Amino acid sequence: MNTDTAIDENEFQQLKAEIEAWVRGPGEIWAERIEAEGDVPRELYEELRDRGYLSLAAPVELGGRGIPFPRYLELLEIVSRSHASIRMLVHVNNGTWRAMEPFANAEQRELVKKAVSGEVLVAFTLTEATAGTGADLRSTVRREGDTYYLNGEKHLITFGVKCDYWLLFARLEGTIGKDGTVALLVPNTGLPGAEVIDDSHTMGVHGTDHAILHFTDTPVPVSARLGEEGDGLKVALGGFLLPSRVSVAMSAVGLAERAQELAIEYALKRETFGKKLAERPVIQTYLAENYADIAAARALVLEAARAYENDAPDAAPLSSASKIVAVDMLARVTDKALQIHGGQGYWARNPIERVYRDARAQRFEEGTNEIQKTVVARAVLLDYAATHPTTENAEA
């Protein structure tokens, strides 16, 4: 975890202003190109890298800027008002180091530094078509000497086509639950038995590549393992998914703010029957509800971020709760923003159409709300059991 807490406020505000100017200027030009071409150009990745936007959150010793997590989220909030693929690049590159660094040996740490700098792209490779929680992983490895032989399938893997490495999770053959899970840094270099299928034709988040991966006795050196056998879910859940869920929640806040901005602009411009839409009570109600929704979600996201930064015992349920609240809020806000545009909003020439499509992806990014509610409910019940012991527990 990033332990740097000192930050020069003037420099930080300058950085915020710089990022906002980029999002509203070059970012919008890139957004139009991504939508037109259906691809994220390599030049965009290089521009984000050269500007340092891919290494905002990592500690200085890894080559990052050392910005504390809650303050980093203020920057991600701004980036998230841009195209979803731009947000995805910034979000993922500023997060994968969290999973890798605590478990990396000296050699792997050099790879982590390259990931932080943007020299290499690492794709988080957990999701499977027939598994949903992580503990039910079906991809397996069989160890023979110094080599694992990997078998299984992954899908919905963001950057899985173009990445340099897959941060991949599997289990030792014959194990169940979290026991026997492993995390592997697998190079995307045409390994024997590895098939990469481009599955990038999506409703929204155009330009970001997504992969289906098939592995058949694909050899992976044991030296590619992060941590020990049995540490796989620790790498995945605590290192990446917990803070990443908070990041996704803040990205929902940022995109909702963009939707609200577009709705306000349109309401102030559009006239019907001699009145601006902004003068009509029903439109004012929509805008007021959106404002309250966004403000409430943002407050919870920042509380969850501080809990994570401080290793608070309720960091995990707050992480999931913030995502539940924020993505549900985003659905309501974008729906009302589109409704304010009327039929015009349904046409791709208007930015709200893209915002509306992009917003839907966050409902299942880093775990569906159904899974998040399971996490929160489990924590609530465990907390109650710990603070309200039954007679049987007391006697025990």
Mean pLDDT (the chain, rounded): 94
* pLDDT given for residue 2 in this prediction: 41
Q: Within this chain, do residues 198 and 293 fall inside the same structural domain, yes or no?
A: no
Residue after which a domain boundary falls, among 89, 117, 145:
117
In a domain, 177, yes or no: yes
**Which CATH number do you get for residue 101?**
1.10.540.10
- Which residues lie closer than 8 Å to 295 by C-beta, 6 or more apart? none
Calpha distance 220→368 (Å, rounded) = 31
| Alpha helix segments (H runs only) across 118-182 | none
Q: Within this chain, do residues 242 and 307 fall inside the same structural domain, yes or no?
A: yes
Q: Within this chain, do residues 107 and 152 fall inside the same structural domain, yes or no?
A: no
Q: Within this chain, do residues 154 and 218 fall inside the same structural domain, yes or no?
A: yes
Q: Within this chain, do residues 136 and 112 fall inside the same structural domain, yes or no?
A: no
Q: Within this chain, do residues 260 and 374 fall inside the same structural domain, yes or no?
A: yes
Beta carbons of 166 and 160 less than 8 angstroms apart:
yes
Domain extent at residue 192 = 122-230
In a domain, 291, yes or no: yes
Q: Is the dihedral of CA 44, 359, 23, 118 positive or negative?
A: negative
pLDDT in tens, the chain (396 residues): 344 456 899 999 999 999 999 999 999 999 999 999 999 999 999 999 999 999 999 999 999 999 999 999 999 999 999 999 999 999 999 999 999 999 999 999 999 999 999 999 999 999 999 886 677 899 999 999 999 999 999 999 999 999 999 999 999 999 988 789 999 999 999 999 999 999 999 999 999 999 999 999 999 999 999 999 999 999 988 678 899 999 999 999 999 999 999 999 999 999 999 999 999 999 999 999 999 999 999 999 999 999 999 999 999 999 999 999 999 999 999 999 999 999 999 999 999 999 999 999 998 888 899 999 999 999 999 999 999 987 555 444
Q: Within this chain, do residues 213 and 100 fall inside the same structural domain, yes or no?
A: no
* pLDDT given for residue 130 in this prediction: 87
In a domain, 105, yes or no: yes
**Is 366 one of the catalytic residues?**
yes
Residue after which a domain boundary falls, among 117, 136, 167:
117
Q: Within this chain, do residues 98 and 157 fall inside the same structural domain, yes or no?
A: no
Beta carbons of 330 and 362 less than 8 angstroms apart:
yes
Residue after which a domain boundary falls, among 162, 197, 230:
230
In the chain, the number of structural domains is 3
* pLDDT given for residue 6 in this prediction: 67
Q: Within this chain, do residues 255 and 353 fall inside the same structural domain, yes or no?
A: yes
Calpha distance 119→115 (Å, rounded) = 6
Catalytic-role residue among 47, 173, 366, 395: 366
